């Protein structure tokens, strides 16, 4: 590589050693990007990155725990370029308990990863993203974060058991996405939330029914938003079908 050779577009995907995050990393690598595969566990991250490199991708593991500022800062300090940030890391939290029976700590715990972790990672990477000619940020949300779905009597989500953890964390993440989009619009950074749909991953393995949608299926909308052109939308919430109502 010479000084005149343009550097490859670089992406960071958090929580990418398995599931949807892994498939997002694979998809971005197929787009020709250098992909930093974030994982809390070093060995699992290295193994996942090795599999993707064997498939021809330029994928490099980084140890990153979105609840640990030290690992976030270490990754940011080691980078000289970042064009795409996919905030994928998330936890399901306490399930099956209504708000009236939810300990406050259960909500604090899930917000620490699903919301505050996104804030910490994004803020640490902002100086790099602002230097990119076409930065993109994708926050991996969920359809259960849609207030419209839960309050529409005709939508199946209105009949789901009430919960004060995972759905609340994703609704809050949607709101944070909008605020980042407002802040970064002037910098040309497009920020959107993605609803990958209910996929068969570790996050959903305890559901009382079988899911047929794969992690690769769910990753498609995330990759699409991560590769938007300059005229693409910002501050939106999207799934495979298009706009998801807030």
Known catalytic residues are 166, 170
What is the longest distance spanned by two Cα atoms in the chain? 62
Antiparallel, parallel or unpaired: β 136-140 and 190-194: parallel
Tell me phi and psi for residue 84, to 5 degrees: -135, 130
SS3 label, residue 82: coil
Q: Which two tokens stand for residue 43?
A: 């060995």
Regarding beta strands 34-39 and 190-194, do their DSSP bridges make them parallel or antiparallel, or are they unpaired? unpaired
Rounded CA-CA distance 160/150 in Å is 8
């Amino acid at each position: 590589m010479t000084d005149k050779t343009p550097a490859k577009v670089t992406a960071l995907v958090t929580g990418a050693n398995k599931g949807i995050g892994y498939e997002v990393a694979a998809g971005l690598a197929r787009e020709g990007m250098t992909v930093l595969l974030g994982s809390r566990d070093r060995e699992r991250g290295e193994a996942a990155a090795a599999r993707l490199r064997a498939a021809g991708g330029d994928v490099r593991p980084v140890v990153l725990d979105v609840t640990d500022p030290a690992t976030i800062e270490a990754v940011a300090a080691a980078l000289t370029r970042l064009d795409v940030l996919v905030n994928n890391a998330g936890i399901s939290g306490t399930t099956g308990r209504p708000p009236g029976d939810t300990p406050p700590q259960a909500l604090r715990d899930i917000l620490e990863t699903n919301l505050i972790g996104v804030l910490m990672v994004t803020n640490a990477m902002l100086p790099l993203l602002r230097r990119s000619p076409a930065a993109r940020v994708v926050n991996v949300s969920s359809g259960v974060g849609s207030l419209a779905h839960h309050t529409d009597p005709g939508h199946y989500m209105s009949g789901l058991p009430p919960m004060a953890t995972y759905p609340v964390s994703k609704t809050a993440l949607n709101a944070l996405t909008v605020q980042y989009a407002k802040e970064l619009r002037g910098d040309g950074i497009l920020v959107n939330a993605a609803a990958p749909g209910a996929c068969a991953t570790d996050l959903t393995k305890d559901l009382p029914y079988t899911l047929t949608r794969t992690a690769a299926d769910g990753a498609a909308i995330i990759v699409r938003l991560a590769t938007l052109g300059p005229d693409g939308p910002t501050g939106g919430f999207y799934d495979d079908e298009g706009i998801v109502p807030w």
